[in-house]
Amino acid sequence: MPQAFRDEALEGATKGREFRRIIHYFKNKALLISSLIFSGIAGASQLLILIIMKKAVNLFMDSGNFLNETVSVLKTSAWVAAVLIVIQIVCAAFQALVSPLFLVDIRKKLYRALMHADIAFFDKISCGAMVGRISEGVSYIKDVYVDLLFVAVHAMCASFSGFIVAMVYGWKDTLTFIAFPIVLAVELFLGNKWADYIWEKYEKAGTESTEKAVSVVTEFRTVKSFDQELDETEDFKRGLSSEENILVKVSLVKAFIRMIAICILAAMALTLNWYMMKKLTDPAHLGEMDMFEMSCILTGIILLTVGIYSALSITSDFQQAQQAARNICAIIEMKPSINPHEGRTVNDLTGKIEFRDVSFKYAGCEQYALRHLSFTIEAGQTVAFVGESGCGKSTTLQLLQRFYDVEEGQILIDDIDIREMSPRSLRKAISIVPQGPVLFTMSIADNIRYGRITANDEEVAQAAVTGNAHNFIMELPDNYKTMVAQTSLSGGQKQRICISRAILSPTPILLLDEATAALDTESEQLVQQSLENFRHGKTSILVAHRLATVVNADKIFVFQEGHIAETGTHKSLLEANGLYANLAKYQLQ
């Protein structure tokens, strides 16, 4: 069963035509149409059994030629069986191709949309909801919109064909029993509406349990550290209890719907049997209908009713897939505010950076993160951002990378407004070492090579040497081929790999966001010396709380409440005896 993912990022998602929108993203539409055609043929081909039935009737009616008629019936049965088998094999082959291709196509579209999404989107959406969409949600949509679609087409074609045959051989008798399929259709429609109403309550509960599981598994070290395993288990059980209650109600409702439907089918079968026997045995009706016509009417009405039952029984699944499809379509169809394909390509940037009266606040926040921020960094300079937490230092780095657009003012690199550059060109000019080390589930060499995919092994090793990571990497069992997910690295080791990755990236601008915060004193000194050599000729911005790392900066900007309160060198700021001097007093004594 799917989880319906409700979160702030997708509020207001366009409703309606979810099936058509999802199918639009399936590339192999010709294959899908062919599969549906063969599903319809397979449904209608059930009427071939009437050919056998006619032969059998002739056999019983013409007992004088029993042997020849028996052989004829057997031959006809063999041919009909062969045709039905071939149709079913072709139908199954098409369906076997469509399902995995559909799954892959939608996941590709979804992942591509995520790769082009704004950072603001990821600020709002929950990790649990996103994991569910990529895996469980898409799989459920495939099960319903593809696999069950074949079932529905098969059932509807069988139903329609049966109705036509019954009308041809006895329209008056067919209309006599048309009430049964109609009552069955109404019962299934209303019952499924009832089940859908209850299912809506499951959506929120399912989302909460998914998010809970993802958050606990992601931060399991913290859970273990505080001995919260049992509490988390009990908390998760309590969360699942509401889901269990809703699922039990839905199951009971569906069971009740099926029970009523079976009663309707049984009543129809008994009534048909009584009516046909009366037609065949009542002297008043003798000669009105032969056995073959009666068989056609019976078969047609049964196919009509069973087809309606099969088709409408899955409408509840289609309704439950609507929310998952709506959320997935919302992601695929969303238009990022920062278009990754707009802007001009800019090469050979030197690294001059200028903020002109920049103001910015995050979506949903009333307070400005930056207010009338202005500064200039010349190409090749090393500049430090210092200040208390939440004063706007990291926000400034994010705006420089154009993760968000400013509300007021301009950000320029080499006197070019970054909004005129393509995001790809801009970010190719910037490398960053984040505050928290970020490594992917791949080898250490590939993690370093992430800074420049074309780098060879020697260049990767040289970057690791500069980043003070080479020695500990060589002590690992598989050296640079060691998978990050299979080894236990310290925070400092992870950070040195991240620094090596930034070193490998040939960019004119280097951002170090608390880059050495996770290192011990000895490693920090070694990396600082390596970075001093590496930063030569680059524009470097250091964000730091530990002022010992910024004393050699060409310029220090002291942030306070989203603007720059002081500017100068380490020496001049100490002499000014202001905000920076107060910060330094507790760290550099």
Q: Domain boundaries in the chain?
A: 9-333, 353-585
d(CA 229, CA 572): 53
Confidence label for 167 from pLDDT (cuts 50, 70 and 90)? confident
Confidence label for 274 from pLDDT (cuts 50, 70 and 90)? confident
Is residue 423 within 8 Å of 343, Cβ to Cβ? yes
Residue 507 has pLDDT above 80, yes or no: yes
d(CA 55, CA 295): 12
d(CA 119, CA 111): 15
pLDDT at 355: 92
Residue 15 has pLDDT above 60, yes or no: no
Q: Which of 85-89, 139-143, 305-309, 394-398 has the highest mean pLDDT?
A: 394-398
pLDDT at 202: 60
Residue 252 has pLDDT above 70, yes or no: yes
Residue 204 has pLDDT above 60, yes or no: no
Is residue 569 within 8 Å of 555, Cβ to Cβ? yes
Helix (H) or strand (E) holding 356: strand 353-360
Which residues in 389-403 are b (16+ Cβ under 10 Å) and which e?
eebbbbbbbbbbbbb
Residue 479 has pLDDT above 70, yes or no: yes
Confidence label for 588 from pLDDT (cuts 50, 70 and 90)? low
**What phi, psi does 565 have (nearest 5°)?**
-90, -35
Task: Classify the C-alpha dihedral 569-504-430-440 as positive or negative.
Answer: negative
Residue 394 has pLDDT above 80, yes or no: yes
- 423 Cβ contact list (under 8 Å, min separation 6): 338, 339, 340, 343, 402
d(CA 15, CA 25): 17
Higher pLDDT, 52 or 460: 460
**Of 287-301, 318-332, 340-354, minimum mean pLDDT range:** 287-301
Confidence label for 12 from pLDDT (cuts 50, 70 and 90)? very low
Q: Which of 265-274, 309-318, 396-405 has the highest mean pLDDT?
A: 396-405
Which residues in 231-251 are b (16+ Cβ under 10 Å) and which e?
ebeeeeeebbebbeebbebbe
SS3 (DSSP) at 488:
coil
Confidence label for 16 from pLDDT (cuts 50, 70 and 90)? low
Torsion of CA 574, 580, 586, 589, to 10 degrees: -20
Separation of first and last alpha carbons in the chain = 62
Torsion of CA 410, 416, 417, 418, to 10 degrees: -120
pLDDT at 8: 47
pLDDT at 519: 66
Q: What is the DSSP letter of 219?
A: T
SS3 (DSSP) at 335:
coil
Task: State which amino acid sits at residue 488.
Answer: S
Task: Classify the C-alpha dihedral 146-148-151-152 as positive or negative.
Answer: negative
Confidence label for 6 from pLDDT (cuts 50, 70 and 90)? very low
User: Hunting for tokens 């429609």 — which residue is that?
Assistant: 189
Percent of the chain with pLDDT over 70: 82
Q: What is the DSSP letter of 25?
A: T
pLDDT at 2: 39
Stated pTM of the model: 0.70
pLDDT (mean) for 109-125: 80
Neighbouring C-beta atoms of residue 111, cutoff 10 Å: 12
Confidence label for 52 from pLDDT (cuts 50, 70 and 90)? low
pLDDT at 54: 62
pLDDT at 557: 92
> Which is nearest to 161 in space by CA: 45, 262, 56, 21?
45
Options 3.90.1150.10, 3.30.390.50, 3.30.70.260, 1.20.1560.10; which CATH number does 9-333 get?
1.20.1560.10
Distance from CA of residue 517 to its chain's centroid?
34
Mean pLDDT, rounded, of the chain: 79
Architecture of domain 353-585: 3-Layer(aba) Sandwich (3.40)
d(CA 259, CA 418): 66
Helix, strand, coil fractions of the chain, as percent rounded to 5: 65, 10, 25
pLDDT (mean) for 383-402: 87
Residue 77 has pLDDT above 80, yes or no: no
Beta strands 509-513 and 539-543 are parallel
SS3 (DSSP) at 271:
helix
